[in-house]
Structure 1
Amino acid sequence: MPCRNLFAALPDPGQDEHFETLFATPGLRIERIASHLHASPPGFWYDQPADEWVMLARGSAELEFDDGRRQILTPGDWLVIPAGCRHRVAATGPDTVWLAIHTAG
C-alpha cells in the first residue's frame, strides 16, 4: 500500500474549493478539502444528514453557524459538526487545507 501525503499534489487555486475523497467505506468517508480565499456563497448553508469531524490542517478559516456563532480555526483546530447543524464557510486564507471525516446518516 502506498504512502501518501496530505499536502502533496494540491490543485492550483481555482474559483471553487476542491474536494477529494482519500478513503471511503460504508459508513465513513475521509476527504481533503483545498481552499484558497474561498467562502460559501451568500445565503448558502451546509445542512448535512450525518455528523462531520473537521480539522484545519493548514491555513486559516472561519465557520459560521445559523445561530449566529462564528468559529475561527487555526492549524490543528478540529470540531465535530453534528448532523443537521446548519453551517457555512465564512472565509478561508490562501492555501488552506482541511481534513474532514463524514459518518453515515
Structure 2
Amino acid sequence: MQIAHGNLLTGLPPDSSAEVFELLHQHGGLKIERVVSSGQASPPGFWYDSQQEEWVLLLSGSAGLTLEGGAAEHVMRPGAWLHIPAHCRHRIEWTDAAQPTIWLAIHHDVPGAP
C-alpha cells in the first residue's frame, strides 16, 4: 500500500501567469485537485458547465464566482465553500492578484446518473 501526503499551502508554482491545476487523487468518478490562481478570471462570455458535481473550498486569497441565474456574485474568502451541481453554469469573475488564491476542488459523478 502506498500512502500519499502533502500540504496544500506549500510548494506553490513559481509562475503565476496561468492558473495551475494539480491532481491530488482520482478514483472512479471522483477527482480531487488543488487549483492555484493569481489574478486570473474566466474569459468574457465563458461559462464552466461540468457533467460532474463540484465542491470547492477556498484556502487562501479571495475570489468572486457567478452562477448562471444567480442573484449575486459569491465572494469567497478563506474557509468559504460552495457546492456547484452538475450542469450549473458558472464563471470566475476575479481572483486575488496580490496573493495566491488556493482552492481545493472535489469533482464527483452525480449519484444515480447513467
Structure 2 length-normalised TM = 0.86
Within the candidate set 71, 80, 87, 2:83 is matched to 80
Larger displacement relative to structure 2 (83-92 or 67-76):
67-76
Within 2, Cα distance between the matches of 1:2 and 1:84? 31
Query: Considering only aligned residues, what root-mean-square deviation do their CA atoms show, in Å?
Result: 1.3
Q: What displacement does 1:65 show?
A: 1.6
Within 1, Cα distance between the matches of 2:64 and 2:87? 19
Structure 1 length-normalised TM = 0.93
| Rg comparison, structure with higher value | 2
Within 1, Cα distance between the matches of 2:68 and 2:44? 13
State how many pairs are aligned.
105
Where structure 1 has 5 or more consecutive residues not aligned to the other structure, the ranges are: none
Is structure 2 residue 100 aligned with structure 1 residue 95?
Answer: yes
- 1:32-51 equivalent positions in 2, closer than 5 A: 32-51=34-53
Identical amino acids, percent of aligned pairs: 48
Describe the superposition over 1:17-59 as per-residue Cα deviations: whole angstroms up to 9, x where unpaired: 1101001100100000000011011011000001100010000
Within the candidate set 28, 31, 45, 1:29 is matched to 31
